Amino acid sequence: MYKIAIAGASSLLGKELKDVLSDSSLAAARFVLLDDEVAQGQLDQVGDEVTFIQAIAANAFEGTDFTFFCGPEELTRMHWRNAVDAGSTVIDMTGALDQESGVVIRAPWLGGETDNIDLLTTAVVPANPAALALALVMERLKLVAPVRFAAATVLEPASEFGKAAMDELHQQTVSLLSFQSMPRAIYDTQVAYNMLGGLGESSKVNLSAVEARIRRHFVALTSGREPGLAIQVIHAPVFHGQNFALAVEFERPVERVTLEEALGGEHLDLVLEDTDSPSNLSATGQNDVLVRLRPEAMGRNPNLVSRLWIWAAADNLRLHAQNALACAMDLRRLRPQKLVQ
């Protein structure tokens, strides 16, 4: 039986991870829920096991096989080496370690990964959910034809930045409707009813850093197999769920039916009806990325295209938790072979 620690158990991502683990083959593991002192003593549950959230003490990671970090980045940076020293494999869902030496960005769903991790590897970073969604789509498109150009706009929700960001969006919305002053502790600007490519000078959310991380993770996942993807990040005034607008141009015309066949299947759900257009609401609770095609026809032939728009949506927390679980299962399955790939 495995012993699994979840550091940041009271966070939005921690709660989603607990739900995903409860429905997995790791549900029978022994869980240790950890967080800062504010959450200490809260009653929580993973699978059938009811337990209390504990403060992170010096010996908190002893005997743990896996430690999932899913709270603030500062918490990860403060404690991850203690987990490694205790013999635990770290799965960093915060992305704080994605530029640390020896730490690999992972997404086992992408079959073409070439990363080789030996038994000395002690920490992995499950890829950012936006980077994972974009990599999944681009991997399918490359099976159809070589891609000449691709650009993506990522619409980020408040939940991507934690509960405090969601609370501030809610409070700003209520304040605007009641003609009261707005709280700005997190964003340092008005995000309610507003689309922004940049936030206030004192904002605790840095969209440029988020954009750089998505680009860095996308490059790591594709290992140079995909063309350069231009990425911009916009903060959307929504609480949950990511949306993506992706423009793609192929080097040669392709059949529309071939595109539709490529974008169906595992982890991608192709939506064919306009009335069921992917949205942050329709994606909530879904394990797959919802995808809608809008090809531009070549001349008079509506079935032959070389350029297209893709509108997609994903449950960012669910996608991230599923990928973290896949990383853990991959590590568990391959470690006896002395190679994690």
| pLDDT tens-digit series, residues 144-190 | 999 999 999 999 999 999 999 999 999 999 999 998 999 999 999 99
- pLDDT of res. 295: 83
- pLDDT of res. 120: 64
- pLDDT of res. 114: 41
Answer whether 0.75 is exceeded by the pTM: yes
C-alpha to C-alpha distances, 60 to 2, 42, 215, nearest whole angstrom: 15, 17, 34
Determine the Cα–Cα distance for residues 296 and 302; give it in Å rounded to an integer.
8
Mean of per-residue pLDDT scores for the chain: 89
3-7 β-sheet, strand order: 43-46, 49-55, 30-35, 3-7, 66-69, 89-92, 123-126, 104-106
Over residues 40-89, the pLDDT tens digits come to 667 677 776 777 788 888 889 999 999 999 999 999 999 999 999 999 99
Return the percentage of the chain with pLDDT > 70, whole number.
90
Better-predicted residue by pLDDT, 244 or 227: 244
Is the separation of the CB atoms in 118 and 339 below 8 Å?
yes
* The two domains 3-126+320-337 and 131-316 share their CATH topology (first three levels equal): no
Mean pLDDT computed over 258-282: 89
- Burial status of residue 332 (CB atoms within 10 A of its CB: 0-12, 13-18, 19 or more): middle
Could you name the CATH architecture of 131-316? Answer: 2-Layer Sandwich (3.30)
Token output for 267? 């982890």
Determine the Cα–Cα distance for residues 6 and 61; give it in Å rounded to an integer.
10
The DSSP 8-state label assigned to residue 183 in this structure reads P
Over residues 82-129, the pLDDT tens digits come to 999 999 999 999 999 999 988 999 999 986 544 555 556 689 999 999
| 28 pLDDT more than 70 | yes
| 322 pLDDT more than 90 | yes
Amino acid at 162: G
| 287 pLDDT more than 80 | yes
- pLDDT of res. 41: 63
Better-predicted residue by pLDDT, 313 or 2: 313
Q: Which residues of 193-213 are buried (b: 16+ CB within 10 A; e: fewer)?
A: eeebeebeeebebebeebbeb
Confidence band for 334, pLDDT divided at 50, 70 and 90: low
- pLDDT of res. 273: 79
| 339 pLDDT more than 60 | no
Q: What residue spans define the domains of the chain? A: 3-126+320-337, 131-316
| 237 pLDDT more than 50 | yes
Domain 3-126+320-337 has CATH 3.40.50.720: yes
Mean pLDDT computed over 270-289: 90
Better-predicted residue by pLDDT, 279 or 36: 279
| Interior angle at CA 196, CA 191 and CA 202, nearest 5 | 65
- pLDDT of res. 50: 72
- pLDDT of res. 340: 45
CA-closest candidate to residue 292, choices 314, 274, 271: 271
